[in-house]
Amino acid sequence: MALYEHVFLARQDLSQQQVDALVEHYKGVIAANGGSVGRVENWGLKSLTYRIKKNRKAYYTLMDLNCPPAALNEMERQQGLSEDILRFLTVKVDKHEEGQSAMLQKREERSERGGFGDRDRGDRGPRSFGDRDRGDRGPRSFGDREDRPRRPRENVEGAA
């Protein structure tokens, strides 16, 4: 049997219990076709980069699968027919990762680090914003723009 990582996006108007029910349903589909589901991670409700089927957010869920290709095809077929599933992606892997996925590790590191203002800049010194805080430059000059006279705009017929 092959090893897969499967991520699916569920609609934003579902509850967490409904997303959990979807996971249990798809676990049953895999088990009925001779496979097994390892770790399941709920990444929660996240904003989408662009709208998908009029949704701006989606529930992300990762599943580690150990199943024959026929079981995976059946699960993907059912997800394609479901109105609750916006997108899904399956990747074949050589072995499953131990511990948490990168998405959950990133969330924990963020909470341990604190906000942006709490970061230590080390030996880099204070932050500089280019030429804005340098006093050695004079005002910007845009060439002959200030010297030339402005010509009046012509009215185009038909324009309001």
What pLDDT digit, counting tens, does each position of 45-102 carry? 999 999 999 999 999 999 999 999 999 999 999 999 999 999 999 999 998 888 888 8
Which amino acid does the sequence have at 159? Answer: A
Separation CA 108–CA 141 (nearest Å):
49
pLDDT of residue 134: 56
Q: For residue 66, give every residue at least 6 positions away whose Cβ sits within 8 Å of its Cβ, in sequence order, or none.
A: 1, 2, 3, 4, 35, 36, 37, 38
CA angle, residues 86, 87, 93, in degrees to nearest 5: 155
The angle formed by the CA atoms of residues 54, 78 and 103, to the nearest 5 degrees, is 60
Joined tokens for residue 82: 């479901």
- What span, in angstroms and rounded, lies between the C-alpha atoms of 160 and 150? 22
Report percent pLDDT > 90 for the chain: 56
Cα 124 to Cα 105: distance, rounded to the nearest angstrom: 27
pLDDT at 35: 93
What's the pTM value of the predicted model, to 2 decimals? 0.65
pLDDT for position 101: 80
Percent of residues, the chain, with pLDDT higher than 70:
70
Instruction: Name the average pLDDT for the chain.
Output: 82
Q: Are 33 and 71 in contact (CB under 8 A)?
A: yes
- The pLDDT value given to residue 120: 61
User: Mean pLDDT, to the nearest integer, of 10-33?
Assistant: 93
Query: Quick count: other Cβ atoms within 10 Å of Cβ 86?
Result: 20
Going by C-alpha positions, the residue among 17, 20, 30, 18 that lies closest to residue 78 is 30
Q: Which residue type is seen at 71?
A: A
